[in-house]
């Protein structure tokens, strides 16, 4: 009893309160977005809001279980958890159910489970375990490659299942690696590649290539002043050139048409007004409606269960990926700002806690949790507000869906447990 009490006191209640606020507010918006007509029962299992309430109840049980398990378990069994997760992803190729073109679900009875939602915390555990291993030196290229491999396996499997959105989430681990000490050059190269890629699409390949080459040589001769070693800038330029044309090739030949259109709209590549109009009608419909719903909310919103665009179901998939538009419409600027602030607070709190960890395992894991939540938040809210291209991933704790709610809950509470245990480490 005493030790239990002791542990509970050390739980980070701020994170837990932020978590509960997000889940609770999320539920209210799901209720609003999915209710049609009279609500007969809040546990109406034929409606998303009924199911979500059950998911939330089950989540509370899950939290107790996650907290109850001894902290050392997660480190010790991380490899096993990772392995099971990978197997569950592979299993999808045999038993998976396809929804909206993505083969990401197991159908068990009346329920569906999406293993990719659980693969996130499994991968985070595996990465934390590997990096915190005393034999691992993150500055060593071999170890870097191995770490990346841990991420690439699930990411690649998910991509094969045609769920590109969930694949992008694994980019979150870059923040983890950077924190753990991979060379600065990766950040520079990473940023450089992003700029080159966008520029290649936006301004076409040749001008980008010329511009990049000029910049590289200018830097080499004027800043570095190593006039004799001409080999380095040439190599760098060649790599850039390959990348620039590679992006073009990837965009034109590998991306599917709907993905091309999303990027094209985002970068405003299409100049033909007729085609643009058609694209907007097809692709932009969701975005257009979601932006309008948010905008129509004004400062204080139309009120809970009173959003006319939500009631009229103008935004497709509103209770899942587009849930934030309900917040915008019904709770206005005030409500949506509060959600944004809650997320920022939670992520920063997690970062802060991660830095306080004494064990590297806990720190790396905590950092991974914050990074994954951040990427979801960035992509989902950014997409719903029309800031970034459409990528279908849920808003953590907020969007409808059992797997995603449970996945994120486990992800978060393992860290809360690790954190609660940090004083008992040694």
Partner 1 sequence: MRKLLLFLTVLSVGVIFLGRLFYLQVYSGQTYSINEDNAIRKVFHYPKRGYVYDRNGELLVANQPSYDVMVIPREVVPLDTLEFCSLLKITKEEFLKSFNRAKNYSPRLPSVLLAHLSKEDYAVLSEKMRKFQGFYIQKRSLREYQTNIGANVLGFIAEANQKIIEEDPFYKMGDLIGKQGIELSYENDLRGVKGVKYIQKDRFNRDIGPYKAGKFDVTPEPGKDITITIDAQLQEYGERLMQNKRGGIVAIEPQTGEILSLVSAPTYNPNLLVGRERSRNYTRLYNDTLSRPLIDRGLLRMHEPGSPFKALIALTALQEGAIDVNTTIRCNHGYVYGRNNRKMGCHCGGGQRNLNSGISKSCNAYFANAFRKTIEKYDDAHEAMNIWSDHIKSFGLGNFLGYDLSIGKKGNIPDGAYYDKWYPDFRWGATTIISNAIGQGEVLVTPIQLANMTAAIANRGYYYTPHIIKTIQGQSIDEKYTTRHETTIDKVHFEPVVQGLYDVFNKGTANFLRVPGIEICGKTGTAENFTKIDGVRTQLTDHSIFVAFAPKDDPKIAIAVFVENGYYGARWAGRIASLMIEKYIKGEVTLKQMEQLVLDKSLEDEYLKPYSGEPFTINQ
Contact 103, 161 (CB under 8 A): yes
Shortest Å distance, C-beta 33 to partner 1: 13
Closer residue to partner 1 (CB): 181 or 207: 181
Shortest Å distance, C-beta 363 to partner 1: 11
- Residue 356: CB partners within 8 Å, gap ≥ 6? 419, 422
Shortest Å distance, C-beta 313 to partner 1: 5
Binding site for partner 1 (CB under 8 A): 36-37, 175, 178-179, 181, 187, 289, 291, 294-299, 302, 306, 308-309, 311-316, 328, 332-333, 336-337, 340-341, 343-344, 347-348, 351, 355, 367, 370-371, 374, 377-378, 381-382, 385, 387
CA neighbours closer than 13 Å in the CB half-sphere of residue 62: 18
Contact 171, 382 (CB under 8 A): no
Closer residue to partner 1 (CB): 17 or 348: 348
Closer residue to partner 1 (CB): 96 or 297: 297
Closer residue to partner 1 (CB): 133 or 306: 306
Shortest Å distance, C-beta 326 to partner 1: 13
Q: What is residue 111's three-state secondary structure? A: strand
Shortest Å distance, C-beta 320 to partner 1: 16
Q: What would the two tokens of residue 392 be?
A: 């279908």
Positive or negative torsion for Cα 280, 34, 15, 353: negative
Closer residue to partner 1 (CB): 71 or 128: 128
- Residue 272: CB partners within 8 Å, gap ≥ 6? none
Closer residue to partner 1 (CB): 10 or 288: 288
* 218 secondary structure, DSSP code: H
Shortest Å distance, C-beta 413 to partner 1: 21
Shortest Å distance, C-beta 20 to partner 1: 20
Closer residue to partner 1 (CB): 232 or 295: 295
β strands within 59-108, DSSP E: 97-99, 102-108
Shortest Å distance, C-beta 388 to partner 1: 11
Closer residue to partner 1 (CB): 163 or 289: 289
Q: What would the two tokens of residue 203 be?
A: 């301004």
- Residue 111, sorted as left (phi over 0), alpha (psi -120 to 50) or beta, turns out to be beta
Q: Backbone phi, then psi, for 238, in 5-degree steps?
A: -60, -45
Closer residue to partner 1 (CB): 306 or 425: 306
- The CA distance from 395 to 324, in Å, is 8
Closer residue to partner 1 (CB): 3 or 36: 36
Contact 284, 258 (CB under 8 A): no
Shortest Å distance, C-beta 100 to partner 1: 18
- Residue 396: CB partners within 8 Å, gap ≥ 6? 22, 373, 376, 377, 404, 408
Shortest Å distance, C-beta 184 to partner 1: 9
Determine whether 222 is exposed, middle or buried from the number of CB atoms within 10 Å of its CB (0-12, 13-18, 19+).
Answer: exposed
Contact 367, 397 (CB under 8 A): no
Contact 350, 416 (CB under 8 A): no
Closer residue to partner 1 (CB): 130 or 343: 343
Shortest Å distance, C-beta 28 to partner 1: 19
Distance of CA 147 to CAs 139, 174, 181, 182, 259, Å?
11, 11, 13, 11, 29
- The CA distance from 360 to 345, in Å, is 23
Q: Which residues lie across from 102 on neighbouring strands?
A: 99
């Amino acid at each position: 009893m005493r030790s239990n009490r002791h542990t509970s006191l050390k739980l980070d209640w701020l994170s837990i309160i932020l978590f509960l606020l997000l889940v609770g507010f999320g539920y209210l918006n799901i209720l609003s977005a999915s209710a049609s007509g009279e609500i007969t029962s809040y546990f109406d299992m034929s409606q998303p809001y009924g199911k979500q309430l059950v998911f939330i109840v089950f989540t509370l049980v899950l939290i107790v279980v996650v907290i109850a398990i001894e902290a050392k378990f997660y480190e010790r069994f991380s490899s096993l958890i990772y392995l099971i997760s990978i197997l569950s992803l592979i299993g999808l190729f045999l038993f998976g159910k396809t929804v909206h073109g993505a083969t990401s679900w197991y159908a068990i009875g009346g329920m569906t489970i999406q293993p990719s939602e659980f693969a996130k915390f499994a991968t985070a555990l595996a990465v934390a375990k590997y990096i915190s291993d005393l034999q691992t030196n993150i500055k060593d290229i071999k170890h870097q490659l191995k770490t990346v491999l841990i991420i690439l396996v699930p990411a690649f499997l998910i991509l094969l299942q045609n769920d590109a959105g969930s694949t992008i989430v694994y980019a979150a681990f870059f923040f983890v690696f950077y924190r753990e000490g991979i060379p600065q050059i990766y950040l520079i190269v990473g940023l450089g590649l992003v700029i080159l890629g966008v520029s290649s699409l936006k301004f076409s390949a040749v001008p980008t290539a010329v511009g990049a080459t000029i910049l590289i040589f200018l830097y080499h001769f004027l800043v570095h002043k190593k006039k004799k070693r001409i080999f380095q800038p040439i190599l760098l330029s060649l790599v850039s050139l390959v990348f620039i044309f590679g992006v073009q090739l990837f965009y034109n030949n590998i991306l599917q048409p709907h993905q091309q259109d999303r990027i094209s709209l985002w970068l405003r590549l299409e100049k033909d007004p007729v085609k643009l109009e058609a694209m907007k009608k097809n692709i932009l419909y969701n975005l257009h409606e979601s932006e309008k719903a948010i905008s129509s909310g004004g400062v204080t919103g139309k009120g809970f269960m009173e959003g006319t665009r939500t009631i009229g179901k103008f935004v497709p998939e509103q209770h899942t990926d587009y849930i934030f538009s309900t917040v915008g419409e019904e709770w206005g600027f005030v409500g949506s700002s509060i959600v944004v602030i809650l997320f920022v607070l939670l992520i920063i709190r997690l970062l802060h806690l991660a830095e306080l960890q004494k064990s590297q395992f806990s720190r790396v894991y905590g950092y991974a949790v914050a990074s994954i939540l951040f990427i979801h938040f960035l992509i989902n809210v950014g997409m719903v507000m029309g800031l970034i291209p459409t990528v279908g991933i849920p808003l953590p704790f907020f969007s409808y869906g059992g797997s995603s709610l449970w996945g994120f809950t486990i992800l978060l509470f393992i860290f809360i447990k690790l954190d609660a245990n940090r004083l008992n480490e040694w």
